[in-house]
Amino acid sequence: MREVQDQGKYIGLPSYIGRSKKEVFGYLLTKVDEHIKRWKGKLLSQARMSSDKERGIHWKSWSYQCEEKFEGGLGFKDLGCMNLALLAKQGWRVTTKQASLLAKLLKRRYYRRSTFLHAKLRSNPSFGWRSLLEGWRILCAGVR
């Protein structure tokens, strides 16, 4: 039998791997890098690339983006307002459905001797309880 210097490749990978994996797989790194450079040239839009002075995308103000489409805005939802509305809704649910598991749990933990309407923040409240009370304040401000 004769001795073979190179074991060859199987499915594009070397069949024998010695001690240095950087040496064996180094070609893969350059190959992947070349592919990425080619894809970048073909697929990425050159429209946003401009001079250094005018770099980036010029966004409109957030209030403009949150306006309804029929008012001339982009129709984005203001997630902060949406979150407060959902918290107020949950507070209303706790007030009207006192037999629910959540209402019982909150009463036992945060306002044993009063009602949800008169509940106060005590020391070390949970984030959920603070958020629920903030939503309830928003609801009370809007109630006539």
Domain ranges of the chain: 10-43, 79-142
The pLDDT value given to residue 101:
94
**What distance in Å separates the CA atoms of residue 57 and residue 49, rounded to the nearest whole number?**
9
Q: Is this model's pTM higher than 0.85 or not?
A: no
- Rg of the chain over Cα atoms, rounded to whole angstroms, equals 31
Enter the tokens of residue 99. 């037999």
Q: How confident is the model at residue 74 (pLDDT cuts 50, 70, 90)?
A: confident
Write down the pLDDT at residue 3: 72
Each residue of 20-44: b (16+ CB within 10 Å) or e? Answer: eeeeeeeeeeeeeeeeeeeeeeeee
Q: 51-78 burial, b if ≥16 CB within 10 A, otherwise e?
A: eeeeeeeeeeeeeeebeeeeeeeeeeee
Give per-residue pLDDT as tens, 84-108: 999 999 989 998 998 999 999 999 9
Bridge partners (DSSP) of residue 13 are 10
In tens, the pLDDT along 13-44 reads: 767 677 777 777 778 888 889 988 888 777 76
Q: What angle do CA 107, 111, 112 make, to 5 degrees?
A: 75
Segment 47-76 shows an average pLDDT of 76
135 touches 87 (CB < 8 A): yes
